[in-house]
Chains A and B, each alone.
Chain A
């Protein structure tokens, strides 16, 4: 067998010159008449090691990283792709403590193969969940998802099985499955990694949902900021159709399900599910009043399952391995695994999948290895731009939904953004308001106008103008936004602001600059 060399085609790997690395390897091999095949795989999510190059031969897989194009001739001089002693040699990737200590269900396949190879997907256990689902009644599928304890991974943590039950129970000749792939939170990339490394898992999960509730059409609403995911998904949908995993007669079951990819247009609010549905309908992405729930009146007024990428993905594990298997991971009412994304100023950033319940400190210290700059960590924002800034005293909190709610925080989509001691929390608070002003859908005054006022008030506090009055005003403004906003955009923006004021008050003090 010819030696295979894997070079990821994931966005982060590409952003670190993976294409040039792949070209250099091909060129160097042909110059030296070495027979090898370069495979463009997905990433394993160990982004701190990207581009992570792996060799596969009779003896197994060995990793090297992070590899730059300039390293390639030296790697070959040192024996690559044979027995290669080099400072970048990492041994088998599976044995790297950073990966080995994870418990991957959803991301078990990520990075192992060409993401578009259906054969690889099958041989690594893919489509087993859908095959099981096709042999079950709709109610039995929904029951399994309920029993698994799966809660939506997009942020609000609503039980997925209950949502599916509502759609199943709502009679209609046309139902829809919609995947929320808008992943707008800074510090998150799990959806992107899944779509780029294992796109058939998303297709499989959506198809399971379709079979469960009786839907024949589905949409993936992908943000325009993800051009690589777009390419991969388009190809995956078309290949899945050709192979009969999508289309008019899925694997001879007589069930039909079509998936269409739709691209957003740079609006954060379109991650909110009802805004997303309006956007899919070709309208401005305004948040709708609830009720009616999308499960009852969703896309074009029809019953609609709308879930995050990772929720659909988790459903494949539930159906393949059983509800009890999935539920046995986790703690309390947070079942299964949590995909944490270590981001910002972090030495070993990337995707860490673990059962719920580990502490934030374990994640940022043991996995993350502290800051990238080497300076002390000072603040951590968990849960995206609407999440609180946590000071060191709160880093021992367990990563589960209820524990986070207990400290006025939220896990959201699992993004963890680390800041070192050069951070200015007054500026971060100002940015939270600014971001809300830029991205508000404009439907409610407290959000649309309150956020603009928020920026101005924080500016005055920083400039030390009528300080006490403005601090009071800022608190009142936050109250108004929390109480008077229709959705979490306006309703949660005060959280990062207040946490900055409460835990990092010194940053709002009078300074020379």
Chain B
């Protein structure tokens, strides 16, 4: 994690350097910043804007248009529950209620201990074996409430 404004500026500088000159660099830069820092800090917006000769409003507008970009750091693990139709047909609504209760948070929130962030997602392309949950980069099929608890217990074990 970056702590000082200086190192943030360095990170942004390096990322911009890597992507400037490519078609539509802003999305690439936002993805890269989020990959490195886990989110796009508000202090990064004017830096990105000036490096790419865009207005702050443009950078802000793009960042907030897309669901993936975060303005705040996420928890150690990001849990995405699919809310779309194929998963609904297999009990996603009940799973959603279970997960909210279990974690004590709703969509867009992070548990107070900073371990889990819960996000909605609309389709992970696993629609023949629903309901589907993504935890970080791993996708899980046929997730019943009980299976969710097992997956969570596995994560508890990793200490993060």
Binding site for B on A (CB under 8 A): 11-12, 14-16, 47-48, 50, 183-189, 192, 219, 224-228, 260, 262-268, 279-285, 299-300, 341-346, 349-350, 372, 381, 385, 415, 417-420, 423, 427-428, 431, 435, 438-439
Please state if B85 and A428 are interface contacts (CB–CB under 8 Å).
Answer: yes
Chain B's interface size range is: 35 or more
Partner of A12, one of B30, B82, B87, B128: B128
The answer to whether B139 and A14 touch across the interface, beta carbons within 8 angstroms, is yes
A303 to chain B, nearest CB (A): 15
- Residues of B contacting A282 with CB < 8 Å? 23-28, 62
Residues on the A chain within 8 Å of B30, using CB: 265
Which residue of B is nearest A269, CB measured?
B65
* 8 Å CB contact of B128 from A280, A300, A342: A342
Q: Say whether, besides A12-B141, A281-B24, A418-B89, A343 and B130 are in contact (CB < 8 Å).
A: yes
**Complex contact B122–A184 (CB within 8 A):** yes
- B10: Cβ under 8 A from any A Cβ: no
Residue B98 is within 8 A (CB to CB) of chain A in the complex = no
Are B86's CB and A299's CB within 8 A?
no
A431 contacts which of B65, B82, B85 (Cβ < 8 Å)? B85
What distance in Å separates the Cβ of B113 from its nearest Cβ neighbour in chain A?
26
Q: Is the CB of B128 within 8 A of A346?
A: yes
Contact A417 B68 (CB under 8 A): no
Q: Which partner residue on chain A sits nearest B30 by CB separation?
A: A265
- Contact at B24–A226, with CB atoms within 8 Å? no
A385 in contact with B85 given A265-B69, A282-B25, A283-B26 (CB within 8 Å): yes
Contacts of A281 on B, CB cut-off 8 Å?
23-24
A105 shortest CB reach to chain B, Å? 21
B55 to chain A, nearest CB (A): 12
Report the Cα distance A438→B31, complex, angstroms.
Answer: 21
- A268 to B132 alpha-carbon distance, docked (Å): 18
- A47 nearest in chain B by CB position: B128
Q: Pick from A266, A385, A415 the residue with the most CB of B within 10 Å.
A: A266
Known contacts A15-B139, A266-B67; is-contact A428 B121 (Cβ 8 Å): no
Q: Provided the pairs A186-B85, A265-B66 are in contact, do residues A435 and B129 lie with their beta carbons within 8 angstroms?
A: no
Leading 3 A-B pairs by shortest Cβ distance: A349-B128, A282-B24, A186-B84
Contacts of B26 in A (CB 8 A): 282-283
Partner among B31, B129, B134, B139 whose Cβ is within 8 Å of the Cβ of A265: B31
Other A-B pairs, 15, CB within 8 Å; known A279-B27, A428-B88: A11-B124, A16-B129, A47-B128, A48-B128, A48-B129, A186-B85, A188-B127, A189-B125, A227-B137, A265-B30, A266-B121, A283-B58, A284-B65, A342-B128, A415-B127
